C-alpha cells in the first residue's frame, strides 16, 4: 500500500504518541529506552501545537495502512547566524522500514527547507545504525565528524556521526 507524507495535525496526538512509543521501544538507536517515552495527551498536544504554529519547526508524519508509521522532526532557530540550519530527527516503525518511507520523509524535509531558505540540514546518526547511514548517504548527506560516546546503551558508550547536507 502507498504511503502518505504530511504535516502532523493536532488531531493526530493519540496516534502520534502511540507511533513514537512503538518506534522508541523498537529501536536501540533512539534517545529513549523502551518504556521511557510516556507523555500525557496534554503534554504531547502542547508539543504538537508548538510545532504546528511555529515558523521554525515542523513535524512530518508518514501514514500507511491507515496508521502513522514514521516521523520527521525539523528544528531551526531564528538567530541570524544560524537560521539557515535545520536539525532533523526521524524514525520509521520496524515493520515499515525498507519501503521508501525514510527517503520520502527526507524528501519532505528537503522541500520544506528549500521553501524556508534553509541552506544546511544536520542529523546525528549512530555509527552502528547501518540502515540509517545508508539512507542519509543516499540522500547526499556527508559525514562531517564523530561525536564520541554520544549514546549510552546497555552499559556501553556509542559514537554518533554528525552528518549534513548542503542545499543549493
Contact 30, 23 (CB under 8 A): yes
C-alpha to C-alpha distance for 161 and 159, rounded to whole angstroms? 7
List the chain pLDDT tens, one digit each, 168 residues: 689 999 999 999 999 999 999 999 999 888 888 888 888 889 999 999 999 999 999 999 999 988 999 999 999 999 999 999 999 999 999 999 999 999 999 999 999 999 999 999 999 999 999 999 999 999 999 999 999 999 998 899 999 999 999 998
> What domains can you pick out in the chain, each with its CATH number?
4-166 (3.40.630.30)
First vs last Cα of the chain: how many Å apart? 33
This model's pTM is above 0.75: yes
For 62, other C-beta atoms within 10 Å of its C-beta total 27
Residues 6+ apart with CB under 8 A from 33: 24
C-alpha to C-alpha distance for 29 and 132, rounded to whole angstroms? 10
CA distances (Å), 163 to each of 14, 77, 80, 119, 120, in order?
A: 31, 18, 22, 14, 10
Amino acid at each position: 500500500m502507498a504511503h502518505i507524507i504530511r504535516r502532523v495535525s493536532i488531531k493526530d496526538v493519540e496516534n502520534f504518541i502511540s507511533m513514537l512509543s512503538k518506534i522508541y521501544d523498537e529501536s536501540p538507536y533512539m534517545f529513549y529506552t523502551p518504556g521511557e517515552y510516556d507523555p500525557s495527551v496534554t503534554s504531547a498536544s502542547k508539543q504538537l501545537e508548538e510545532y504546528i504554529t511555529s515558523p521554525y519547526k515542523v513535524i512530518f508524519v508518514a501514514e500507511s495502512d491507515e496508521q502513522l508509521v514514521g516521523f520527521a522532526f525539523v528544528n531551526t532557530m531564528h538567530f541570524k547566524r544560524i537560521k539557515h540550519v535545520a536539525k532533523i530527527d526521524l524514525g520509521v516503525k520496524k515493520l515499515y522500514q525498507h519501503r521508501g518511507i525514510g527517503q520520502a520523509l527526507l524528501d519532505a524535509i528537503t522541500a520544506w527547507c528549500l521553501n524556508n531558505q534553509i541552506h544546511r540540514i544536520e542529523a546525528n546518526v549512530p555509527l552502528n545504525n547501518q540502515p540509517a547511514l545508508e539512507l542519509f548517504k543516499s540522500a547526499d548527506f556527508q559525514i562531517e565528524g564523530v561525536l564520541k560516546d554520544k549514546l549510552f546503551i546497555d552499559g556501553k558508550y556509542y559514537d554518533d556521526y554528525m552528518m549534513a547536507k548542503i542545499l543549493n
